[in-house]
Structure 1
Amino acid sequence: MTEESSGPALAPGTALPATTGLDRLPRQVHAHVTALQPARNEQERAVIQRLMEIGFLPGEPVRVVASGFPGGDPLAVRVGQATFALRRHEAALVHVQAGAPA
């Protein structure tokens, strides 16, 4: 597993790119999963598999409900009707788009 992330969370009111990493989604912004990042190694493959098993699948509604203090790690993330704690580097593997799926 790598410690990389797509960068810091976007500030409230900042326009979101078409697709962004879940780790960059501001708190309480409703979004949906668009894809999971392709695995770069076996550890990432295992994390991505687990994320899919717990419900991080394309089309699923998702939002960040809280983040840890200090540093913002872990994130409390709601997917469907369940809430999970994810580290930022895990959340970065989930690609999301703000709003409801098309």
Structure 2
Amino acid sequence: MDTTQPMSQLKEGQDAVVTCLELDGAIRRRLIDLGLMENTPVRCLQKSPWGDPAAYWIRGAVIALRREDSSRILVRPLPGEGGDQPWD
């Protein structure tokens, strides 16, 4: 059974694949322009001390997202530790 969760809940170093963008308007268009869409692999690189914003590795770039936005991006966490995925 596949489980999804908000991208904001990923732990540092955890890998996942995007399953759904529940965003509208300019932020949705901007993230799609950056390559964040369904089936895109992502990794949570670092969270600020209060968890907002967080840095994510997306298609070879580091993108900082506010929790408000990353909580509306659904992902399927991948098994294993960060750094052992095919795109590494």
Q: Deviation per CA, 1:10-56, whole angstroms, max 9, x where unpaired?
A: xxxxxxx70011111111111111110153xxxxx211111111111
Percent identity of the aligned residues? Answer: 29
Equivalent residue letter for 1:90: D
* Contact kept in structure 2, 1:26 and 1:64, CA below 8 Å: yes
Q: Which residue in the other structure is 2:81 paired with?
A: none
Unpaired runs of 5+ residues, structure 2, are 79-84
Give the ranges of 4+ consecutive aligned residues of structure 1 lying more than 6 Å apart after TM superposition.
none
* Contact kept in structure 2, 1:48 and 1:93, CA below 8 Å: no
Kindly tell me the number of residue pairs found equivalent between the two proteins.
78
Q: Which residue in the other structure is 1:8 paired with?
A: none
Unpaired runs of 5+ residues, structure 1, are 1-16, 40-44
Determine which of 19, 23, 27 is the counterpart of 2:8. 23
TM-score (norm 2): 0.79
The 1-side partners of 2:44 and 2:23 are apart by: 22
Instruction: Compare relative contact order (CA 8 Å, sep 6+) and give the higher one, 1 or 2.
Output: 2
The 1-side partners of 2:35 and 2:71 are apart by: 16
Cα distance change of structure 1 residues 85 and 38 upon mapping to structure 2, 3 Å threshold = closer
More strand as a share of residues: 2
